[in-house]
Structure 1
Amino acid sequence: MTPVTRGALGQIWKLSGNGTPWAVKELLFEQEEPDVGVEYALLDAARTLGIRAPRLMPDRTGAHVVRLPEGSWVKLYDWVDGTAADPSDPEIQSWCGRTLALLHKAGEGASGTPNGWYERCNPASDWAELLGKVERAGLPWAGELGRFVATTAVDLARHVSPSAPDDVVTSHLDMRPQNVLVDPEGPVLLDWDNAGPVSAERELARAVYVWSGGNDFDPDAARRVVRAYRDAGGRAVVKGLDPFSMLFATDLNYVYVQAGCAVDPTVTAEQRAFGSREAVAKLRGLPELAAVSRLTEALEGEW
């Protein structure tokens, strides 16, 4: 077992034996057995549609998540050897749009309600309480968090709202370059843990923003993602700022959770350090409303 990388929710290990490598995902914060039914079903549907993804392997009893004697829940996947996806590559941009369209078609007819992580954000009182904890802990980025709480958090929160029920599909929910590896046969989509119901237009809007360069987006890249999505049968449309609600909500919630972890006495020192690093990184890479507005203008001719 070799540690490979650490994400917000888990540690990835490479398990090697008998000439076959596997990816083990250790879920660091799950107390109860996680439900992986949606993830497994969507993975199965995605592979049927030609989307390359690692298999989620069952144990001898057919279970897809297992608890170790030490307490952690783990999942076992195929190991994927590949290089990080280049979001500036036109072929990768087209792959992103096409893949998202296929996922949305596979996930049509979803009846569930999107998780609050994608639909809501914390009120000002919660942010004030968190800021107080960070200040009392003497963390060097307390001032940066304070400026964010007083300005950007308020501005972005105004554009976070529940999505319309008739737009909900079952999808991946975290299609970012960090979750794509490219091997000799092409891109492989990883990290399906968050699979579930989501607004199709909001997932598309977030993907277009992320894959076209964020605040410093390339208009041609954004249009390329959208055109590939539409050509593959995707039905979602991104007009105005409302579709970016998921982008704003997830980034606000990520700062809140990681900053909270940084001052949580019940977690390990390593987890607090991780939370601190992640909170600072996200504070310095949040979406800007002016940039998102320009992005919507660049896409006006695509609908």
Structure 2
Amino acid sequence: MHDTGDLGDVVAEAYALGPGDWGMEPVARGALGQIWKLTRSHAPNGPSDDSADGPSGGPAWAVKELLFDGDEEQVLRESALRDAAERLGIASPRLFADRAGACLTRLGGSPDGPCVKLYEWVEGARADSRDPEILSWCGRTLAALHRAGAQETGTPDPWYERCPSPAEWATLHARVRRADVPWADALGRFVASSAGELARHVTASVADGVPCAGEEVVTSHLDVQPQNVLVGPHGPVLLDWDNAGPTSAGRELAQAVFVWSGGNGFHADSARRLVRAYREAGGRPVLRGLDSFSMLFATALNYVRVQAECAIDPTVTPAQREFASGQVVASLRDLPDPTAVARLAECLEQSW
């Protein structure tokens, strides 16, 4: 975005928030978009009615500016899952429609204008994955999400089910070397070693439209991690539903256990607590060996790929390339270690 004051006015107009002195400040930057806090210092005819039930009722809103073209169908899927999950007790920010009734808005009336979504603003602190109560909440929440999405089947996106081939990695590495980025050699070492080792554990959960043996396919959040949970005065709130879609319930559980229990240096008690809460809340999938962590490995590999591609893409902004370069370096440093994941799987098998 450019002038945040002017664009604050544009967002307010698109969502019928009313007149006033609008301002936006950057809050967080993720792989898919920039989060802004939209506020109105005052309205011309007096203060806003903060008790109103709708977009015009709050003192602040969260604006998500998508860095890539949005997908209205995906936003509708996000909204439907969020509403179903809310009925099961999962708190999340409300997603608002614009004047035309759309939940995805292209600002400025131009095909090149930024795509945004408008949410209720939520105050809170980032969830502490060391907190036993938060771990139990995570397990219960995953189980509730899987119940909410149990009737919505489909084929998971390739992002979660496949990864680059050796030839694709070689082509990408050659492009990276030509771009002469500082991490080109590190990517090359990764391509020659860890990439193939992780890829061996990436498999499809659905074949010819039918879930494979032992797989329970649901529609779910697909990004339940600590940075997407805020803990406010009324408890945890789950954010960032952009990725909602079909997935293997067991594979999403496995990825969440890895992330919430500490990654490669996992804490066994934390992992067991999350899984126990999931099972007690009605979650059915059982984790068995490294194959259960296929989604973890696929997303780690694909994230390195897309960030490396973005980092050398001349059509994106310098800020986007800089962010992507940092993400490549961080991701290569923090890749899941199959040896550690195998120990985690063994720890969990002893818990069933």
Report if aligned partners of 1:109, 1:168 keep a CA contact under 8 Å in 2.
no
Report if aligned partners of 1:182, 1:188 keep a CA contact under 8 Å in 2.
yes
Query: Equivalent residue for 1:234?
Result: 283
Report if aligned partners of 1:34, 1:65 keep a CA contact under 8 Å in 2.
no
Query: Equivalent residue for 1:52?
Result: 91
Structure 1 residue 129 corresponds to structure 2 residue 159: no
Q: Tell me, which stretches of 5 or more residues in structure 1 are unaligned?
A: none
Q: TM-score normalized by structure 1?
A: 0.97
Query: Equivalent residue for 1:72?
Result: 114
Query: Equivalent residue for 1:117?
Result: 159
The alignment-based identity, stated in percent, is: 65
Partner Cα separation in structure 1 for residue 293 and residue 146 of structure 2: 17
**Closer, same or farther in 2 for the Cα pair 1:97/1:31, shift >3 Å?**
closer
The Cα of 1:31 is off from its aligned counterpart by 6.2
Query: Equivalent residue for 2:65?
Result: 26
Query: Equivalent residue for 1:11?
Result: 34
Partner Cα separation in structure 2 for residue 60 and residue 267 of structure 1: 30
Encode CA deviations 1:233-276: one digit per residue, 9 max, x unaligned: 00111111111000000010000000111111111111110110
**1:119-268 matched pairs, under 5 angstroms:** 119-164=161-206, 165=211, 167-268=216-317
Report if aligned partners of 2:225, 2:256 keep a CA contact under 8 Å in 1.
yes
Partner Cα separation in structure 1 for residue 89 and residue 164 of structure 2: 38
SS in 2 for 1:302: coil
Code of the residue aligned with 1:229 in structure 2: it is Y
Report if aligned partners of 1:46, 1:106 keep a CA contact under 8 Å in 2.
yes
Partner Cα separation in structure 2 for residue 167 and residue 38 of structure 1: 19
Partner Cα separation in structure 2 for residue 95 and residue 33 of structure 1: 30
Query: Equivalent residue for 2:123?
Result: 81
Q: Tell me, which stretches of 5 or more residues in structure 2 are unaligned?
A: 1-23, 41-47, 49-57
Encode CA deviations 1:106-151: one digit per residue, 9 max, x unaligned: 1113321000100011111111111112112221111111110001
Query: Equivalent residue for 1:290?
Result: 339
Partner Cα separation in structure 1 for residue 118 and residue 81 of structure 2: 16
Partner Cα separation in structure 1 for residue 153 and residue 84 of structure 2: 17
Report if aligned partners of 1:117, 1:250 keep a CA contact under 8 Å in 2.
yes
**1:32-47 matched pairs, under 5 angstroms:** 33=72, 35-47=74-86
Larger RCO, structures 1/2 (Cα 8 Å, 6+ apart): 1
Structure 1 residue 108 corresponds to structure 2 residue 150: yes
Code of the residue aligned with 1:8 in structure 2: it is A
Report if aligned partners of 2:72, 2:103 keep a CA contact under 8 Å in 1.
no
Code of the residue aligned with 1:89 in structure 2: it is D
**Closer, same or farther in 2 for the Cα pair 1:232/1:88, shift >3 Å?**
same
Partner Cα separation in structure 1 for residue 275 and residue 176 of structure 2: 40
Q: Pairwise CA RMSD of aligned residues?
A: 1.2
Partner Cα separation in structure 2 for residue 300 and residue 258 of structure 1: 34
Report if aligned partners of 1:108, 1:169 keep a CA contact under 8 Å in 2.
yes
> If you compute each CA radius of gyration, which structure gives the higher value, 1 or 2?
2
Partner Cα separation in structure 1 for residue 204 and residue 188 of structure 2: 27
Partner Cα separation in structure 1 for residue 318 and residue 255 of structure 2: 32
Encode CA deviations 1:7-53: one digit per residue, 9 max, x unaligned: 10111111112461000001111166553111011110111111010
**Closer, same or farther in 2 for the Cα pair 1:39/1:32, shift >3 Å?**
closer
Query: Equivalent residue for 2:7?
Result: none
Code of the residue aligned with 2:312 in structure 1: it is V
Query: Equivalent residue for 2:9?
Result: none
Partner Cα separation in structure 2 for residue 268 and residue 301 of structure 1: 49
Report if aligned partners of 2:132, 2:270 keep a CA contact under 8 Å in 1.
yes
The Cα of 1:301 is off from its aligned counterpart by 2.4
Aligned length, in residue pairs = 303
